Amino acid sequence: MPLWLGVAPFSVAYALAARTAGLDAAQTMAMSLLVFAGASQFTAAGLFASGANPFSIVLATLIVNLRQLLLTASLAPGLRHLNAWQRAGLAFQVTDETYAVTVRRISERLSGAGLLLGSNISLYFIWQLSTIAGLLLGGVIPNPASLGLNLVFPLSFSVLLMPYLRSRPQVAAALVSGVLALAAHLLLSGSWYILIGAVGGSLVGALLEGRK
């Protein structure tokens, strides 16, 4: 239950922001059911609002979720007794919160399957309920944008980004990505600024990491 307090408000905010971005209730709910990744859902909704093309939306959400590769890989030792389908099912629902409560148990060379499954199902359930609550709340607010929900996207991205800025290469990559994206947005039409910022920042980060 303590984990619910961290994800429920975020899910409500996602639903309100998605409706503000122009997604209908079915699309908003489908994303929560099928994607179940707060950062990716905020990213997709924000790009949809900006008129980005489908390719850019898919690419950006994949980049945002790349960290899941590292999270699930570190959980693998405690799930070896499961078959591939079972591991895939657990991996789909892994979040930062469920990872945090499971990885310690696995580090003690204990199976984390039961704990991971229980926490995954619990958070998935509360995420869907909170999305519904956000949709209902949005229905009684004439203009959700008047609440300043246009700020939800950049603020959410900033909060998600800050914990990963632990070294100079990471900070440099984030700054270069932001500068390139802003410049491309001012100089080019369409959503090319997303790709330019992402690729430019990634290259700078990789080059600086390689020199360490």
Which of 19-23, 114-118, 192-196 has the lowest average pLDDT?
A: 192-196
User: Amino acid identity, residue 34?
Assistant: L
pTM score, whole prediction = 0.65
- Does residue 16 register a pLDDT over 70? yes
Angle, vertex CA 180, rays to CA 177 and CA 181, nearest 5: 80
User: Amino acid identity, residue 163?
Assistant: P
Averaged confidence pLDDT in the chain: 79
Question: For residue range 106-129, what is the model confidence (pLDDT) as tens digits?
Answer: 666 655 677 788 888 888 999 999
- Does residue 131 register a pLDDT over 90? yes
